[in-house]
């Protein structure tokens, strides 16, 4: 089945700096890659997603890049702000794969230092 590795598990950056979270996956059939943000005590919320036929997608300060050949995708946050502090999860969707096709990484705790 699909295996999603997410790094780092904890990331601390200075306010205003950039943050990058990386995920690798094993199933070449995966074709959809969403990112979720979960603030403390709250539900995960979709912040950005990318399909397999696109290499990069940007939404204001957030961007996601996908390298299908290397089977990895990354979340980039620029000009970080205190409200960016949260746990971020990557996920993959693989048609016909195990369970329901969705596999999550274990999460990255992003800490924005003032």
Partner 1 sequence: DGGITQSPKYLFRKEGQNVTLSCEQNLNHDAMYWYRQDPGQGLRLIYYSQIVNDFQKGDIAEGYSVSREKKESFPLTVTSAQKNPTAFYLCASRRSGTAYNSPLHFGNGTRLTVT
Nearest to 112 by CA among 7, 18, 23: 18
Is position 101 an interface residue for partner 1 (rule: CB under 8 A)?
yes
Which is it for strands 30-38 and 19-25: parallel, antiparallel or unpaired? Answer: unpaired
**Residue 104 in contact with partner 1, rule: CB under 8 A:** yes
Would you count residue 54 as binding partner 1 (CB under 8 A)?
no
Question: Which position among 3, 12, 28, 45 is part of the footprint of partner 1 (CB under 8 A)?
Answer: 45
Q: Judged by CB under 8 A, which of 21, 27, 34, 64 binds partner 1?
A: 34
88 touches partner 1 by CB under 8 A: no
DSSP string, 18-35: -EEEEEEES-TTEEEEEE
């Amino acid at each position: 089945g699909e295996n999603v590795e997410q790094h780092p598990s904890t990331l601390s950056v200075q306010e205003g700096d950039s943050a990058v979270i990386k995920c690798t996956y094993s199933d070449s059939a995966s074709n959809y890659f969403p990112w979720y943000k979960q603030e403390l005590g709250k539900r995960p919320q979709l912040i950005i997603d990318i399909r397999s036929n696109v290499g990069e997608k940007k939404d204001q300060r957030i961007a996601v890049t996908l390298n299908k050949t290397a089977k990895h995708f990354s979340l980039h946050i620029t000009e970080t702000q205190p409200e960016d502090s949260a746990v971020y999860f990557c996920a993959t969707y693989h048609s016909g794969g195990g369970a329901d096709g969705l596999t999550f990484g274990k999460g990255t705790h992003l800490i924005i230092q003032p």
